[in-house]
Structure formats: C-alpha cells, structure tokens
Structure 1
Amino acid sequence: MASTVAGWRCVVRRLAVRGQTSACGTLRPSAAEDASNSKRIALTAGKRSSRRRRARGACLFVGLVRAACQRAPVMRNRFDRLAKDIAQEGLTPTGKVVTDAEVAGDPQRADVWYEPDPARASGRERLGLLGRLAATACTIEAYSDTPSADEARACVEKHLAVWRSCGARDRAAEPPFLWILSTGRPTAVLDGLRSETMTGWPAGVYEGPRLLRTAVVVLAELPRVRSTVLIRLMGGGRVLREAIDDFRQLPEDAPERAIALGPLLRFRAEVAKRGPATPEEEEFVMTTQELVDQFIEQGRTQGIAQGIAQGAIELYEARFGPMPPSLRSAVEAMRDLPTLRTWLVLAGTGTREEVHDALTAAPAGRSS
C-alpha cells in the first residue's frame, strides 16, 4: 500500500509539471493515462519491493557472517575442544580459567587463559605436569596434531598482545607464559624458536628464548607416567589412545578421574551423536567404550552400596538408637559391597560392641 501511494504521488508530480488540470484546478489524468499509470505504478512498486527484499536479505546475510567471524572461535580440530575442557576442569579449582579467551587488539582467541589464585596453590599439585604449567599466569594453546610455523607464530603474537594487556593493567605483575602443546614434534617450530630442553622438566618440554617466555611441550615425547596423564589426554592420535589406556588403570579415587572423566564422556557423546567424521574419531569412540561401561557399572555399584549402607544404619538405630556420627560417616563412605553386606547382617544380629568394633577396624572408603 505504501509503495502504491508513493507511486501515485510521483505521477501527480509529473502531471503537475505538464499542467494537466481540470476546470476546477484539480489534477485529473485521462482514462488512458490512468490505466497506463496504474500499470506502470504497480510494476515499479513490485520491482522496488523485490529490490528491497533482496537488499535486506543480503544485509542480513553479511551481518550474520560478520558476527560469526567476529564471535565464533575457529576450531582447528574437534579434539582441541576436548583439550580445552580438560584444562578448564582441572584448573578452575585453582584459579581463573577462560577458554576461547578474547585477546585485546587481536581478532583471534587464545585456547585457554589461566590466572592462578595464590590461596589455592596446593590444589595444583594433584594435576601433575599440568599443574606445573599453571604455576604462573599463562596462555595454553593445545594442538591435537602438529602446529605449523605460521600457527606457532600466531600463538606468539597473541601471547605478546596478552602480555601488553597484563602490563598495562598491572606493571608489577609477573609476565605471563605461553605453553604450546603439540601432539607431534613440530621441528620447524622448535628450530624457529631456537628451543632447548627445559632444565628441571621431563623429556618433551622445550624452552624458547627467555625474552619471549614461551615453551613447547611435545606430548609424544613425554614419559608415560601418572603425572603426565592429564596433559597427554589433551593430545590426539596415538598419544591420546595411550593416555586413555593409562587413565583406565588409575584408581577409582584418583583425582585425575574426577577431572577428565566428564570431558571424555561428554566429547564421546558429541562425536557419537554427530557420527565420527574421521578414522581418529571412530577409534576414539571405540577406545572410550570401556570408560562408558566402567562409568555405568560404577554408578550401579554406588547405588547398591548406598542402599545397603542406609539399611545398615536404619537397622542399627532401630536396635540401639542413634548411630554415632563417626560410625555413620564410616558406613556412608564405604563402597566395598561384601563389607557392607557383612555390616548389614551384623547390625541386625550382633551386639552394639561387635558393630562398633567392626566399623572402627575397617579401612575407610574401600572400593569394591
């Protein structure tokens, strides 16, 4: 309707210029001109409306593309997401962690930015080598493959931008460090940085020029020991496969399990839902199947254990009155099913002293 009205106004202006007026001074186009103008107006209005719709669509598309380019972090590899999640899960209890962190003055983003909390420094000890990396404020760039020289140069540029930003905020603060985690040996990167084996660190850790505060960790060269499990889980290929094998052998109460099991299972569910896109992803799904089975069995066992423990407590209190808090804690913490079954029978048939002696002598929280 608005387009038609605008068209008529245009016709009125043209007719006014021609001086076509009626006897009473108002504009009156002839019947032929009226039909012709109406047709021309409808055609013009339709074209304008179509052009406006195309223009709006093009603007919207360009806006969406720009927003995606500005906001969405570039995912080099789907396994890099797993590395970020493990770092976040492990480091969050000891400081401030930001994944896909924006870098001031740089359109790119850092994989992980970490600022330690001095009051929670003791928590980093349970993280092994990952905890040592996080002794100071740092950027962690994780590659589930092997980064090129250009990729490493981009990491250094982001690191320097972060360094400048930190210096502007607090000149007295210790400069941040850059850790580049590479699954394979990035020969061009190590040569370009003139990296040397880092004194006092395990094999596979190389330090660049001290002026840059940059180091490269070659995950494939790290020793296969417990202290490196978490950081090797941030790799890919053979390194990740071996790390998962070592992870499965950890005790059930190992802190590494509490940190990495969630990210591993979430990533596996994501890959399985979308469908493995590469042979490496397909292998990951098969390799982690045992972790899924263990998780399900553990949940089932814990549910049974909690039920037996609650039964033992209720049976004891029905016979002897309220259970002492220390004994209640021992029963609730126990996960060994045979022990819990013994306690359940004892709570129903033994004396108060026999129950107390049995609960006091048992090792705390023994796994089944």
Structure 2
Amino acid sequence: MTRFIHDQFAKPYLSELLSPLGIVETSKEIHSEGRQIDLLFTPSSTKTEHRKNLGLLGRLTTTPALFEPFRNPIAQSDVRTCMMKLFVLLAELEREENRTKIPVGDREIPKLWILTPTASTNFLKSFSAVPSSKEDEQGIYYLSASWNTAIIVIHQLPKTTETLWLRLLGRGNVQKQAVKELEALPKENLLRKNVIQFFYQIESLSGCISVL
C-alpha cells in the first residue's frame, strides 16, 4: 500500500516537473512479463530557464532518462529489477535500430536513475557504486559506465535549492524539511502551487503527510 501511495505521488509529481522539457511516459509497458518502467523521459525542449529552476533534477534530464523512485530503502533485488527494465528497453531500441536502419546514438540511450531514501555504504559497495566526482552531485553513486545506471541516495543530498525537487521524494524528516522549503518559495512560483496540490492529494490517500 505504501509503495502504491508513493507511486501516486512520485509519477505525477515528476511528470509535472519534467513535461515542459520533453516527453514523459509513466507506467510504460515493456515486453517482459508485463513489467512497467515508472517514468521514461525523453528531452525535446530547450526551455533552459525551467531546467535551471529544477536544479539537480533538471541537470539529470539533458539526455533520455529512466526514473525509478522508491519510498522505502531499496534492496539488491530492486536494483536488479530496475536494471532488467533498462536492458529490456535497450533491447527494444536495438530492434528498432535494426528495423529502421537508423543508428541509436549514445546520447539516445536512457540513463537509469534509481531514487532511494537511504542506502548503506555496504549496500552501495555491493554494486561497486562509487560517489560522483562532481562537487554538485553529492549523494549520487554511479555504477560502472557500461551499466548506464546511478543510485541517488536522497538523505545524502545537500540541503540546497538545487536538490529541493529530489528531496521532496524522500521520507521522514528529509521530506518534511523539503516541504518547509517548498512552502517558503514565493507564492507566485507556479511549481510551488502545483506541487503542493500533489501533497494535498497524497494526504487524502494516506492521511499521513501534513503540509500547510
């Protein structure tokens, strides 16, 4: 039930933020036992101001992306399942390439971003995930380049405006702090208004999130 409620928030929330920048597909069916990708994003817009306003989330969407947000800390099986979805999608892209004879460039291969509220050091080591070398990507751990996958540990993200839109997908005190920062944004901020509406909707489903 908790996973379902989180999905009811995370998918429309990310869709709202990312739709001005490109094509968003939620619950996309892939040809593997009826499995679905939570959110597939394909950039198609040059709205640089909107992307800038999304901070770190905006920077993750300059190329195609798969977002798999989790309400609870991920298990090893969750990571493997997410990667399986990526591989199935890549196989579909390869079949399309063979059919159309149009090469799929590296920039068209989606990056898998797995969002988890927390993750232990041992857990990350089990996937040989290493922290990003970029100063502004604290809390992001990359698997080997060929896997095209990264794990975002939300509670490790710096408490800055750059990470606000990702920290809203956290849980407990991390999410509560992010909600306070959201409320503090100027009232004329359209993203503020729309996202708060999502929190109202999720509160009506679970009765456990309090905002405003």
Say if 2:137 is the partner of 1:202: yes
SS for the counterpart of 2:26 is strand
Unaligned residue ranges in structure 1 (runs of 5+): 1-73, 291-368
CA distance in 1, matches of 2:121, 2:74: 10
Q: Which residue is 2:110 aligned to?
A: 176
Which one has the bigger strand percentage? 2
Q: Which residue is 1:193 aligned to?
A: 127
* TM-score of the aligned structures, taking structure 2 as reference length: 0.87
CA deviation after TM superposition for structure 1 residue 144, in Å? 1.5
Say if 2:194 is the partner of 1:262: no
Q: Which residue is 2:80 aligned to?
A: 153
1:312-352 superposed Cα distances (whole Å, 9 cap, x missing partner)? xxxxxxxxxxxxxxxxxxxxxxxxxxxxxxxxxxxxxxxxx
Q: Choose which of 133, 146, 150 in structure 2 pairs with 1:211.
A: 146
CA deviation after TM superposition for structure 1 residue 104, in Å? 2.5
CA distance in 2, matches of 1:186, 1:143: 15
CA deviation after TM superposition for structure 1 residue 205, in Å? 0.8
CA distance in 2, matches of 1:250, 1:222: 19
Amino acid corresponding to residue 27 of structure 2 in structure 1: D
CA distance in 1, matches of 2:125, 2:83: 15
Amino acid corresponding to residue 190 of structure 1 in structure 2: L
The higher radius of gyration belongs to 1
SS for the counterpart of 1:194 is coil
Higher relative contact order (CA 8 A, sep 6+): 2
1:226-269 superposed Cα distances (whole Å, 9 cap, x missing partner)? 11111111122222111111111111123531441221222223
CA distance in 1, matches of 2:133, 2:92: 29
SS for the counterpart of 1:76 is helix
Which one has the bigger helix percentage? 1
CA distance in 1, matches of 2:35, 2:2: 11
Q: Which residue is 1:132 aligned to?
A: 59
CA distance in 2, matches of 1:232, 1:83: 12
* TM-score of the aligned structures, taking structure 1 as reference length: 0.52
CA deviation after TM superposition for structure 1 residue 218, in Å? 0.5
Amino acid corresponding to residue 114 of structure 1 in structure 2: F
Q: Which residue is 2:100 aligned to?
A: none
- RMSD, matched Cα: 2.0
Say if 2:155 is the partner of 1:220: yes
State the percentage of identical aligned residues.
25
Q: Which residue is 1:116 aligned to?
A: 43
CA deviation after TM superposition for structure 1 residue 167, in Å? 3.1
Q: Choose which of 168, 172, 175 in structure 2 pairs with 1:237.
A: 172
Q: Which residue is 1:253 aligned to?
A: 188
